[in-house]
């Protein structure tokens, strides 16, 4: 199987789920038929099989154009507008992708902007790129989201000063609403090539759309294979038999442990390539679960690195958490430990061991220690790390997230709580229309 879920170390017997099967089947039916709560944002459910082939072709052509015309692509977006593409690019390219020579990369360097409000970050990135040929992909549904809007204002000026308005026009690619919004208006007025953010797909579910696909394709990753993985997941994870459906198993596992009083789910990986997959996963489940005082808090750790910082807390701290471990079954490298005559560090007993095999033993030792420490561990086995399997894993998490929201009784497709900080920020910046709130907040501060 491409993805397998192992319940062995969870302190849950599969038979404990039997009385939940009808509830799970109902949630799955509402999700797949798009009849459940939040169904105006269920376009992602069948997107891998019903996506716009014409736009998909334009995405591949645009990616080729960017590859041929620039040394660096700057992707401007925040949240779901950048995390999905960064997750896939980080998983499927070298950790040192941007530092590699172009002949090896065969693609532009990829940088991200608009995901923070740091003047230092923006200033340093602009300085780094001043002598390079640059293209920009700005991603925003409205075009008015503060963080990416600020970054794009600077990069638009940067490109126009460097290439002129006509030259900049050929280097700016916009992913936005099909018909409305400030960014759509600007793209039409300036003549930028545009791609669509669908009305019925929220940002955190948008990896398979132009939001994720254009940067991913520009990085030289096979988006045909990525979509094939999503399609395979769409077909496989509608299988009604619980024992054959790892997506169902994962959704019920996290829901069962939540009902037992566990409040934190920690996603664990043993490969640095998965660091940003974990960041995307945290947004997916954090924005989807956290409603009405409910929800598991999503956290992540990267082992063995974080065993030297977070391992003590996980092992011996409060028992309010459980771990979900992603294991890549196929080795990523065949590099081996070699013998050293002096053996000052005492490592010669490892002579001939592959580094990945040592990492596997670290995983097994940690698994047993944490289970002995009363921390349940569910294990997601991913057959290999390539575009097809990452595509399948992304859909696996998206569907499990939707199912889990329905099981918890919340709408997993909205995010009303995100607006609170924005209103306060606008008021403190004296944005017109927020005068009353400005006075209230300044008095509190």
> Which sequence positions are flagged as catalytic?
287, 422
CA-CA distance, 85 to 217, in Å (whole number)? 9
**52: how many CB neighbours lie within 10 A of its CB?**
15
Residue 89 CA from chain centroid, whole number: 10
- Measured distance CA(15)–CA(289) in Å, rounded: 25
Query: Whose CA is closest to 281, among 104, 91, 140, 52?
Result: 91
d(CA 434, CA 430): 7
Dihedral sign from CA coordinates of 17, 18, 22, 26: positive
Q: What value, to the nearest 5°, has the Cα angle with vertex 245 and ends 262 and 405?
A: 45
Enumerate the β-bridge partners of residue 134. Answer: 72
CB 294 within 8 Å of CB 300: no
What DSSP string describes 330-395? S-S---B----SS-TTS-GGGTT-BHHHHHHHHHHHHHHHHHHTT--EEEEEES--SHHHHHHHHH
Rounded Cα–Cα distance for residues 213 and 55 (Å)? 11
* Total Cβ atoms within 10 A of residue 439: 11
> Parallel, antiparallel, or unpaired for β 321-328 and 134-139?
unpaired
Contact at 8 Å (CB) between 387 and 221? yes
Distance in Å from the first CA to the final CA of the chain: 56
Strand order across the 264-269 sheet: 3-9, 377-382, 321-328, 264-269, 297-302
């Amino acid at each position: 199987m491409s993805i397998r879920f192992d319940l062995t170390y969870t302190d849950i017997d599969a038979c404990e789920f039997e009385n939940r099967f009808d509830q799970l089947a109902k949630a799955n039916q509402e999700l797949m038929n798009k009849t459940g709560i939040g169904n105006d944002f269920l376009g992602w459910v069948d997107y891998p099989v019903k996506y716009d082939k014409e736009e998909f072709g334009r995405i591949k052509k645009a990616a080729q154009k960017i590859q041929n015309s620039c040394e660096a692509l700057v992707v401007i977006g925040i949240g779901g507008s950048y995390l999905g593409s960064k997750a896939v690019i980080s998983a499927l390219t070298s950790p040192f992708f941007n530092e590699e020579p172009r002949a090896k990369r065969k693609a532009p360097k990829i940088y991200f902007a608009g995901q923070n409000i740091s003047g230092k970050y923006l200033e340093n990135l602009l300085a780094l790129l001043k002598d390079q040929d640059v293209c920009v992909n700005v991603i925003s549904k409205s075009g008015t989201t503060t963080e990416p809007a600020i970054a794009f204002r600077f990069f638009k000026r940067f490109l126009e000063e460097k290439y002129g308005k006509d030259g900049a026009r050929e280097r700016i690619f916009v992913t936005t609403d099909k018909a409305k919004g400030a960014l759509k208006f600007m793209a039409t007025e300036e003549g930028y090539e545009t791609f669509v953010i669908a009305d019925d797909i929220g940002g955190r579910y948008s990896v398979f759309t132009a939001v994720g696909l254009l940067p991913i394709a520009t990085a030289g990753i096979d988006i045909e294979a990525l979509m094939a993985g999503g399609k395979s997941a769409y077909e496989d994870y509608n299988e009604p038999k619980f024992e054959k459906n790892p997506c169902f198993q994962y959704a019920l596992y996290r829901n069962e442990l939540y009902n037992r009083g566990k409040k934190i789910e920690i996603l664990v990986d043993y490969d640095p390539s998965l660091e940003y997959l974990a960041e995307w996963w945290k947004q997916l489940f954090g924005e989807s679960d956290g409603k009405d005082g409910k929800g598991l808090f999503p956290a992540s750790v990267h082992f063995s690195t974080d065993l030297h910082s977070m391992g003590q807390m996980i092992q011996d701290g409060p028992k309010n958490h459980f771990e979900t471990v992603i294991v890549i079954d196929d080795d990523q490298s065949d590099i081996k430990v070699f013998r050293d005559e002096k053996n000052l560090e005492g490592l010669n007993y490892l002579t001939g061991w592959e580094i990945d095999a040592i990492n596997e033993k670290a995983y097994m030792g940690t698994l047993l220690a944490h289970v002995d420490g009363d921390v349940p561990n569910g294990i997601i086995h991913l057959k290999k790390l390539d575009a097809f399997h990452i595509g399948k894993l992304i859909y696996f998490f998206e569907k499990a997230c939707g199912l889990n929201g329905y099981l918890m009784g919340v709408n997993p497709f909205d995010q009303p709580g995100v607006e609170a900080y924005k209103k306060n920020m606008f008021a403190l910046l004296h944005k017109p229309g927020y005068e009353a709130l400005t006075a209230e907040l300044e008095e509190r501060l």
